[in-house]
Amino acid sequence: MRNILITGANGQLGCELRALVESEEFKINNSRFLTLNPQFTFATREALDLSNLCAIERFFEGKTFDAIINCAAYTAVDKAESERELADTINHRFVSMLAKIAKRDNAKLIHISTDYVFDGKNNRPYIESDPTNPQGVYGQTKRDGENAILAVSPENTIIIRTSWVYSSFGNNFVKTMLRLGKERESLGVIFDQVGTPTYARDLARTILDILPEMNNSKPEIYHYSNEGVASWYDFAKAIFEISGVGCLVDPITTDQYPTPATRPHFSLLNKNKIKSEYNINIPYWRDSLANCLKEM
């Protein structure tokens, strides 16, 4: 496995992957992986325009990769309600093309999906085989991308659903809270949507650990987030407590903060499958948040 393509290289997860493969930690902990002498290609939006299917075809002309990690996605949840075609092109049609390329070239493929494929009405953490029922365009297009992979059925392919991703890179809830917390004395934050924050660095580390071990005859779906349970209110409180920001946080309900897209009220993901099959240890969300805030 020599040539590894990472799409969405300027996004949160793509940036974390780049930081990891360039770090001493990676060199120390992935010595067996490094004997394969992997060469990473980090494709940004400028190099790989996902809104243009013809440009995508041109990018892959004459190129062969041994593995593809697809971190690219249309993630503007509310804008997707009015930009369905663009969201579908990036989250569905591009993913279908990747699956066909992976099958043609016998390449490993890791695709990142989302908790938004579920309707959020469960009363227990979602397992991989639970029925999907997305409530908005973003979730629908991400589910369509998953289904496209399953239909093409390339070997050595996994889909990883995750939730509430944040990082020291890019724009995210943590950075928004830190900015607003320094500007205001108090903030209202939703308390009736429950899930688990996921530090993109932890997910990136897991992807690199899993990649050399993949050996499945058909696509498999896994769930990954940090451990524990939180509402957005809990998340905001923890951000301010750990960072020492004195902003007060008031709990509000979803109907007090209406948005164009419907969010799942319950997004907990059961991670037993990925932990048992790949021997993954997953950090607690507050511990990972503290690590991220140190990075900032």
Residues that are catalytic: 138
Question: Can you tell me the distance from the alpha carbon of 22 to that of 59, in angstroms, rounded to the nearest whole number?
Answer: 24
Helix, strand, coil content of the chain in percent (nearest 5): 45, 20, 40
CA-based torsion, 255, 134, 222, 47: positive or negative: negative
User: How would you classify the pairing of strands 3-7 and 67-70?
Assistant: parallel
Please state, in angstroms and rounded to a whole number, the distance separating the CA atoms of residues 49 and 47: 6
Length of the chain equals 296
d(CA 200, CA 202): 5
Amino acid, single-letter form, for residue 7 = T
- Conformational region of residue 287, where left means phi above 0, alpha means psi within -120 to 50, and beta covers everything else: alpha
Q: What are the beta bridge partners of residue 39?
A: 3
d(CA 112, CA 89): 16
Q: State the Cα torsion 33-279-100-84 to the nearest 10°.
A: -120
Q: Are 130 and 122 in contact (CB under 8 A)?
A: yes
CB count in 10 Å sphere of residue 272:
12
